Structure 1
Amino acid sequence: MTETQPVRRRRGRGARERILKAATELFTAQGINATGMDQLSTVAEVSKRTLYTHFPSKDELIGAYLQSLVDPLLPVPPSLDRPTMNPREQLLAVFDRKPSESTAPFRGCPLLNVSVEVPDPGHSAHQLAAAYKREFARRLTDIARQAGAADPETLGEQLALLFDGAAARGTVLNSSHTAACARAIAESLVDAALADVGPASA
């Protein structure tokens, strides 16, 4: 009879960070519904008691995971701290993000994935994903306004929709190359929107 190998647990500080790191890896690779708390505690090398001390429920862990993604994924308007990129370049930069080097299937946008896995619009995770998508379009609109677009709201929504469409198609096709095609379309949209204000401002 083969004895079960005991799960290795790490002592000391940093348990919360390890749990979030494990959640990010597992939720990205296999989705939140397929990831159980037992697996999370094993990969994070913490006891179930420690896991629930930091995150009393899976929903709270999902919320912390999503919050950790929001700031890095949102477009950042140009400022004095980032003088090298003009508004036009910033609008297109959202399509230039390189996915991490991995042999795992391409998973696209994690916020879109969560909204599919948690379809209830009243669920906190779904609401957070929806709020992120609204903020994503709002920031694109602000940058479009800085760029001088005649109708920044429309351009911001078009670019947000294009970004989400590329992410969804890339997930289905297991390909990150859809972003390059989306960027070419975005460039045409942006340049057309900026060209429209030329004659009026002359």
Structure 2
Amino acid sequence: MTETQPVRRRRGRGARERILRAATELFTAQGINATGMDQLSTVAEVSKRTLYTHFPSKDELVGAYLQSLVDALLPVLPSTDRPAPSPREQLLAVFDWKPPETTAPFRGCPFLNVSVEVPDPGHSAHQLAAAYKKEFARRLTDIARQAEAADPETLGEQLALLFDGAAARGTALNSSHTGAYARSIAESLVDAALPEAGPSSPR
């Protein structure tokens, strides 16, 4: 939308959700630094006043955007409330993540992107990204421990590093296919680390 086109404004409830949806769309497509608050208010169909009422600064909006992604992207730990696949399949499932359907270039992991766009380790957005990456590896380690891996901490870190490498390479190549290659490597790592390893072994 160009600056000369009329901007529609929507009244009523749901403005915060529209702003977050717009932020997710724009940050995913073009990055945080390239996205301005004017563009966000236009895409969200809210006034600048409404935007700043919900998010007094861009930093706060970035933080809310990252928090909204955490549950969807972290490895899922087993729960008594629902049946879970084997620990082996839980470890490999992180490599089956599919990015949202979009015509924009593939941008890999949003938390890696934020840590690059906001390089200051003391910035709240960078700290959120770092905390997410630590939790990602910790959850993999917990699953590896449940799977009785010989060295769950090492396996968790190896799989986290493999995931990040695939995401970064996919971003450079504008391709989501790197995840499939990473999964095949992960299978070898997991099977070597678990007792009675082997693709045909019961899990």
TM-score grouping bracket, smaller chain normalisation: over 0.9
C-alpha displacement of 1:197? 8.6
Match of 2:133 in 1: 133
What are the equivalent positions in structure 2 for 1:1-202 lying under 5 Å apart? 4-195=4-195
How far residue 196 of structure 1 moved from its aligned partner, in angstroms, is 7.4
Using a 3 Å threshold, how does the CA distance of structure 1 residues 88 and 197 change in structure 2: closer, same or farther?
A: closer
- Per-residue CA deviation, residues 113-158 of structure 1 (Å, 9 max, x unaligned), is 0000000000000000000000000000000000010100000000
Q: Read off the aligned partner of 1:138 and give its amino acid letter.
A: R
CA distance in 2, matches of 1:190, 1:112: 24
The secondary structure found in structure 2 opposite 1:150 is coil
| Aligned AA (1:72) | A
1:102 Cα shift?
Answer: 2.2
Structure 1: unaligned runs, 5 residues or longer: none
Give the Cα separation in 2 of the matches to 1:5 and 1:168. Answer: 37
The 4+ residue runs of structure 1 with deviation greater than 3 A are 195-198
CA RMSD of aligned residues (A): 1.4
Cα distance in 1 for partners of 2:143, 2:131 equals 18
Unaligned runs of 5+ in 2: 199-203
The sequence identity of aligned pairs, in percent, is 89
Cα pair 1:148 1:197 within 8 Å, conserved: no
Count of matched residue positions in the alignment of Structure 1 and Structure 2: 195
Rounded Cα–Cα distance in structure 1 between residues aligned with 2:71 and 2:190 = 24
Cα distance change, pair 197–181 in 1 and its aligned pair in 2 (3 A): closer
Per-residue CA deviation, residues 148-170 of structure 1 (Å, 9 max, x unaligned), is 10100000000000000000000
Cα distance in 1, alignment partners of residues 169 and 183 from structure 2: 14
Normalising by the residue count of structure 2, what TM-score does the alignment of the two structures yield? 0.93
Q: Return the offset for 1:180.
A: 0.3
d(CA) in 1 for partners of 2:191 and 2:46? Answer: 52
Amino acid aligned to 1:62 = V
For the 8 Å contact 2:191–2:197, the answer to whether it is kept is: no
- What SS does the corresponding residue of 1:131 show, helix, strand or coil? helix
DSSP-derived class of the 1:94 partner? helix
CA distance in 2, matches of 1:106, 1:162: 18
Determine which structure has more spread, i.e. the larger CA radius of gyration.
1
**Distance of 2:112 and 2:99 partners within structure 1:** 16
Q: Secondary structure of 1:98's match?
A: coil
Structure-2 separation of matches of 1:125 and 1:101? 25
